[in-house]
Amino acid sequence: MAITVTSGVLATLLEEATRVHPQECCGLLLGLDDGEILAAVPTANVHPRPDRHFEIDPAALIAAHRAARVGGPAVLGYYHSHPTGRAEPSVTDRAAASGDGRVWAIIANLEVSLWRDEPGGFEPLPLRVAAG
């Protein structure tokens, strides 16, 4: 299933990766349950080694889930950058993945790729860009 992402979301992802470089940026992908990502919300990277790893601020994640429960956008997934790597899941990403079916956007070298965190591992997702 292709995931639709607005051009504004892609711009935010690329801007965040550039802004935070050489550390890893991270955040939440919010949108509609049909797979349309409407917003990328930057969060603090609270990992002790943000130059090599990411950890989304738990308070931001909890707040987004609470907002979704009362009618806000759904938490469709997460994003992070690989400042010195490729736009694909790393060994560390694969080890940390939960297999929950959420979307992961990975940004590297001015490229954004999308992956679904499946129980059997990451699956690449086709990306469809919409205006916005």
Q: What is the DSSP string of the chain?
A: --EEEEHHHHHHHHHHHHHHTTSPPEEEEEE-TTSEEEEEEEE-B--S-TTT---B-HHHHHHHHHHHHTTS-EEEEEEEE-TTS-SS--HHHHHH------EEEEEETTEEEEEEEETTEEEEE-EEEE--
Among 35, 24, 27, residue whose Cα is nearest residue 101: 35
- State the pLDDT confidence band at 104, using cuts at 50, 70 and 90: very high
Give residue 50's pLDDT. 97
Give residue 2's pLDDT. 81
3-130 maps to which CATH number?
3.40.140.10
Q: What percent of the chain has pLDDT over 70?
A: 100
Give residue 34's pLDDT. 83
pLDDT in tens, 14-68: 999 999 999 999 999 999 988 899 999 999 999 999 999 999 999 999 999 999 9
Give residue 131's pLDDT. 84
- State the pLDDT confidence band at 78, using cuts at 50, 70 and 90: very high
Asked if residues 107 and 54 have their Cβ atoms less than 8 Å apart, the reply is no
Q: What is the pTM of this model?
A: 0.95
Among 70, 69, 88, 75, residue whose Cα is nearest residue 38: 75
